[in-house]
Amino acid sequence: MTERVFQIVPKVQNYAWGKIGTNSKVAELISNAYPEISIDSEQKYAELWMGTHPNGPSIKKETGESLKKIISAHPDLISQGISNKYEGDLPFLFKVLSIRTALSIQAHPDKKLAEYLYQNFPDKYKDDNHKPEMAIALTPFECVCGFRPLKDIEQNINNYPEIINVIGKKVYEDFKSIIDDDKIVSPFDVERKKNILKNVYKSLMEQDHDIIKTNLEKLINRIKTTDPNPKRGTLNEVIIRIESQYPGDVGVFSIFLLNFISLKPGEGLYLAANEPHAYISGDCIECMAASDNVVRAGLTPKFKDVETLIDMLTYTSISADNQIISGSPYLQSKSTVLYNPPIEEFSILCTKLSPKTVKSENFDGIMGPSIVLVTEGHGHIIYDEKMLDACKGSIFFVGADTNITLEAIDGDTTFYRAYAELNNTQQ
């Protein structure tokens, strides 16, 4: 009989933007639970992958078998419905990210666009799936996500007039005249404002590099003169910091148009299709649909597809506060919260236990596969009268329809659990 719960070994990714040595949450977790994986104090540890993605597949710790091979041979571990729909694979990839320098300004295509890009540009876009994502902060976490409210963009342009030289005076005047008109009486007015925002972003992203570089230098010199020691997290400080990482990059100007968001541990963001975003710094839990589809346009040495990015975005303007999510109680639980995005590929549970308060919690079987990660403390995973040691950094696969108990045995203990579950009509 196949085990329903077992420990897995993740894949570590050493990308250039990762935090160095044990400053990285990725390295901290790995070194605690998997001492056989050596940590280099000078190496960059960017991502921890938990799942079946071919670029970083997990294996069963006890036997060395690939997780993909196990669930392919035993489809009941992920449920027959999910096995049929996702061709014997997990629908999601679970990660930990540790970010030292900003990641690219990017967006992920919806399913229809992903199919088009894969069909027409298979050398650049490797699959035909969409890639919705969710990030939950483990440490103070910075990112940009979505376009700012139009009035905020106007204020930024007025405060940083160098951007007018980049987008052009005519584009700015058209933008200002439309957003100063507060009459929104029809869907046409909403669409008109989206179109003018698209025009601003298009003018910025397609501008000649020399013009970008010249005006960015003027901007940085002016900030350093007028505000030589900006407070961490202010727009001046963020601009200077990111420009030092990506000198002369058009993506620095994008930050005036996009929401800068600071997340506290436990706060999260859902990154829907066709919305611009970039992670800036910090450590987070991340979960996504199993896809590599990314359209980039700034803050990256990788391939940029500016034309596709400009055309795909929704140009929805919304405040930063309206994008932050904190989770909701899971089935009346006092120790577990649910982060539940409007997609079927994944949801995330966070359970916080302590021997001094709530020591354990029982969970009925979820009708789909789960991966459980311990991010702090020390506990147990109990199932079928078996007790598995769950120290910080340890990772477990939990089969579909398997009852488990999570337990804390040493200090405050936090479990993050990514899972997939089809709705009743699809089972």
Binding-site residue ranges for Zn(2+): 106, 108, 133, 277
Structure tokens at 63: 């036997």
Q: Are 42 and 21 in contact (CB under 8 A)?
A: yes
DSSP 8-state code for residue 18: B
Which region, left, alpha or beta, applies to residue 229 given φ > 0 means left and ψ of -120 to 50 means alpha?
Answer: beta
Asked if 296 is an active-site residue, the reply is yes
Q: How far is CA 302 from CA 103, 106, 286, 305, 360, in A?
A: 11, 11, 21, 10, 46
The beta strands (E) that lie in 150-276 are given as: 258-263, 268-271
Distance CA 18, CA 47 (A): 7
Catalytically annotated residue among 4, 100, 296, 417: 296
Q: Name the residue among 323, 331, 229 with its Cα closest to residue 276.
A: 323
What are the two backbone dihedrals, phi and then psi, of residue 69, each rounded to the nearest 5 degrees? -65, -40
Annotated binding residues, written as ranges, equal 106, 108, 133, 277
**Number of Cβ atoms within 10 Å of the Cβ of 232:** 10
The structure tokens 């009346």 sit at 332
Q: Are 167 and 278 in contact (CB under 8 A)?
A: no
**Number of Cβ atoms within 10 Å of the Cβ of 424:** 8
Q: Are 371 and 418 in contact (CB under 8 A)?
A: yes
Task: Give 265: exposed, middle or buried? Use CB within 10 Å, 0-12, 13-18, 19+.
Answer: middle
DSSP 8-state code for residue 252: H
**In a 3-state reduction of DSSP, which class is residue 32?**
helix
Structure tokens at 136: 């939950």
Half-sphere exposure (CA, 13 Å, Cβ side) for 354? Answer: 5
Q: Are 144 and 259 in contact (CB under 8 A)?
A: yes
Q: Which residues are catalytic?
A: 296
